[in-house]
Structures are given as structure tokens and as C-alpha cells.
């Protein structure tokens, strides 16, 4: 999933607004977009922050919605 600070008016399938964006270390209000990708652990330079437990729940719900799981 990708996180972006460019929020458009419509939130699509598998997307959600990060409620606790400041606590997650983000610079401005942000949304999680349905762009699934992976990177190798060795390419991670540093962790900028972490999603709150409420936002993790939203992420899990978005993934289930995106992949058609219930």
C-alpha cells in the first residue's frame, strides 16, 4: 500500500484516510492508496513512524476490501 499527502475528494476501494497522521510521523494529512507493492528489507533506510492501532485496523479492512475478503 502507498501513503500519499495528495488527498482527492473521493476515497476508492481499498483506500482510507490516516486518522492519526501526526502520530504516524507524517508531515500532513494523508491517505493510504491501493497500490500494493513490496520492497526488500535491506532497502529500508529508516522508519519514519508507525500507524496507530486504529489506523492498522483501517488498513486491515482496506486490504480485505481490496482483495474481496470478508
pLDDT of residue 12: 85
pLDDT of residue 62: 92
Under-70 pLDDT residues of the chain? none
- Pairing label, strands 16-17, 2-4: unpaired
pLDDT of residue 8: 79
pLDDT of residue 34: 85
Task: List, for residues 24-43, the tens digit of each pLDDT value.
Answer: 999 999 999 988 788 899 99
Q: What is the pTM of this model?
A: 0.75
For the stretch 60-68, contacts whose Cβ atoms lie closer than 8 Å and that sit 24 or more positions apart, written own/partner, are 61/16, 62/1, 62/14, 62/15, 62/16, 62/32, 62/34, 63/1, 63/14, 65/13, 65/14, 66/13, 66/14, 66/34, 66/36
Each domain of the chain, given as residue ranges in start order, spans: 2-37+48-66
Amino acid at each position: 500500500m502507498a501513503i500519499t499527502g495528495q488527498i482527492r475528494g473521493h476515497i476508492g476501494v481499498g483506500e482510507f484516510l490516516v486518522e492519526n497522521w501526526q502520530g504516524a510521523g507524517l508531515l500532513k494529512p494523508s491517505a493510504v492508496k491501493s497500490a500494493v507493492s513490496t520492497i526488500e528489507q535491506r532497502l529500508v533506510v529508516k522508519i519514519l513512524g508507525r500507524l496507530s492501532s486504529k489506523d492498522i485496523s483501517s488498513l486491515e479492512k482496506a486490504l480485505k476490501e481490496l482483495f474481496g475478503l470478508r
